[in-house]
Amino acid sequence: MKFRPLHDRVLVKRVEEEAKTAGGIIIPDTAKEKPQEGEIVAVGSGARGDDNEIIPLEVKAGDRVLFGKWSGTEVKVDGQDLLIMKESDILGIVE
């Protein structure tokens, strides 16, 4: 299935964290927090400004981003757990 978010929304795939600490301790699934880093899978066309012009998004597919802990709505697309969020929920791009 192809999916394209509307307007200023983006589709994000969470990047899984390491299951082991630097010291070699294995972290069980019950103790893990959801990662706040992800990869942009798809982007919308952009937001509409006050003059009714479309303002393009700053992020693009393939960008690694940081987002807030409670940002976005969880959805399942093609069997993958993904997040849909507005571009304004993204804190920054990891370069």
The answer, yes or no, to whether residue 1 has pLDDT greater than 60, is: no
What's the chain's average pLDDT? 83
pTM over 0.95: no
Q: Which of 29, 39, 48 is nearest to 90 (CA)?
A: 39
Q: Which of 18, 19, 20, 64 is nearest to 40 (CA)?
A: 64
Sign of the torsion formed by the C-alpha atoms of 17, 21, 27 and 31: negative
Q: What is each CA distance from 59 to 11, 25, 29, 32, 43, in whole angstroms?
A: 11, 35, 31, 28, 8
Q: Dump pLDDT digits (tens) for 9-26.
A: 999 998 876 666 567 677
Q: Dump pLDDT digits (tens) for 21-55.
A: 567 677 666 655 666 889 999 999 888 888 888 88
The answer, yes or no, to whether residue 7 has pLDDT greater than 80, is: yes
Q: Dump pLDDT digits (tens) for 48-87.
A: 888 888 888 889 989 999 998 888 889 888 888 899 999 9
3-class secondary-structure state, position 73 = strand
pLDDT at 22: 65
Which fold does the domain 7-15+32-91 belong to in CATH?
A: 10 Kd Chaperonin, Protein Cpn10; Chain O (2.30.33)
